[in-house]
Structure 1
Amino acid sequence: MVNDADKKALISRSEKFFILAECFFDRAFKRPAYLFNQRGKSAGSAHLQLNLIKYHPILFKQNSADFFAQVVPHEVAHLVAYQYYGKVRPHGKEWQFVMQNIFNCPADTTHSLNISDVIGRQFAYQCDCTTHQLTIRRHNKILKGLKYRCQKCQGELKIKGL
């Protein structure tokens, strides 16, 4: 889905942020492997112990400017924070420091990209206060006996219409 030119552009942009971190911390950072097969709603993911970054090919194609501005530095910051500070909270103060003070980017923990083309089938569930849209994965877990509760009202989620 992502052509070679796009892959090179994403890796090149990632490299820019690694260089910024190296200049700031005055040390080298090991470069990750890159995969372009992220699935679901996530635009990207950083696998710390594997030193791997995955990018979502469909979301990249539809939002390349946002990817270069926000998703790439977000994922690189995870690896930089892990390699420099060790095991820390995923979007904790160390990651935020890298994003804001080194990469000069907002430390947004989630993206606001349109995910309608990658969301998959949704199932309506009801609690005591609202309706929730659950993925097929969560729906299937409920069918197997797992129970989910609303974070707001703590009511158990029940499939809507039953």
Structure 2
Amino acid sequence: MPELLKQRVEACYVQAEAFFKRTFPRPEVSFKLRGLKAGVAHLHDNLLRFNPTLYQANQDDFLRQTVPHEVAHLVAHQVFGGGIQAHGREWQLIMRGVYDLAPLRCHSYAVQRRTVTRYIYRCPCPDSDFPFSPQRHRLVRQGRRYVCKRCRQVLTYSGETRQA
């Protein structure tokens, strides 16, 4: 795990402790997040997960914005309890008051979307294409049946695939 990221997490906690005049337990930090999210805070596990691909491509902004964003979730949960909204007033207070950052809900990093195969299923209805994910297609192969909501006929695999 990158040392700069660990240091930034610690610096965020030091800032929060100075602001709230209390200590916070340090989270476990993981660099095992894939997909579209830059980071995720697991409130009940006191765990932060970060996306290494997005970190490498956007290191400066990631350290400046994403790390405090995720730490703010854990701090908000520990200060205000579990009944708050993820990006609600309490979280926004921490982003503005503790970290002096705009409370942005989402990152704007360029994300490489992977192509996914869709398996085309049909029924007797006109223009009936039902693109199934590989997981759903596998379930059909194992015996699960899906039915069209209009005609109530079992959907059958057409033999076609598409890349989405």
For normalisation by structure 1, the TM-score amounts to 0.72
- 1:108 and 2:131 correspond: no
Counterparts of 1:46-125 in structure 2 under 5 Å? 46-87=41-82, 88-116=84-112, 119-122=113-116
CA distance in 1, matches of 2:117, 2:40: 25
Q: Secondary structure at the match of 1:29?
A: coil
SS at match of 2:45: coil
State the number of aligned residues.
130
Q: Specify whether residues 92 and 140 from structure 1 end up closer, same or farther in structure 2 by C-alpha distance, changes over 3 A only.
A: farther
Q: Is the 8 A contact 2:117 2:134 kept in 1?
A: no
Contact residue 30 and residue 49 of structure 2 kept, 8 A: yes
Contact 2:38 2:55 in 1 (8 A): yes
- CA distances 1:30-89 after superposition (whole Å, capped 9, x unpaired): 100011011110001000000000010111011101111111000000000001111111
Structure 1: gaps (5+ residues): 125-135, 147-159
- 1:34 alignment partner in structure 2: 29
Report the residue type matching 1:35 in the other structure: S
**For residue 108 of structure 2, what is the amino acid of its counterpart?**
S
Report the CA distance between 1:139 and its aligned residue. 4.0
For structure 2, list consecutive stretches of 5 or more residues without a partner in the other structure: 119-130, 140-145, 148-161
Identity of aligned residues (%): 37
Q: Stretches of 4+ moved more than 3 A in 1? A: 138-146
What aligned pairs does 1:122-133 form with structure 2 within 5 A after superposition? 122=116
CA RMSD after TM alignment: 2.6
Q: Which whole-Å CA distance do the structure 1 matches of 2:107 and 2:135 have between them? A: 26
Letter of the 2:21 partner, please give it: D
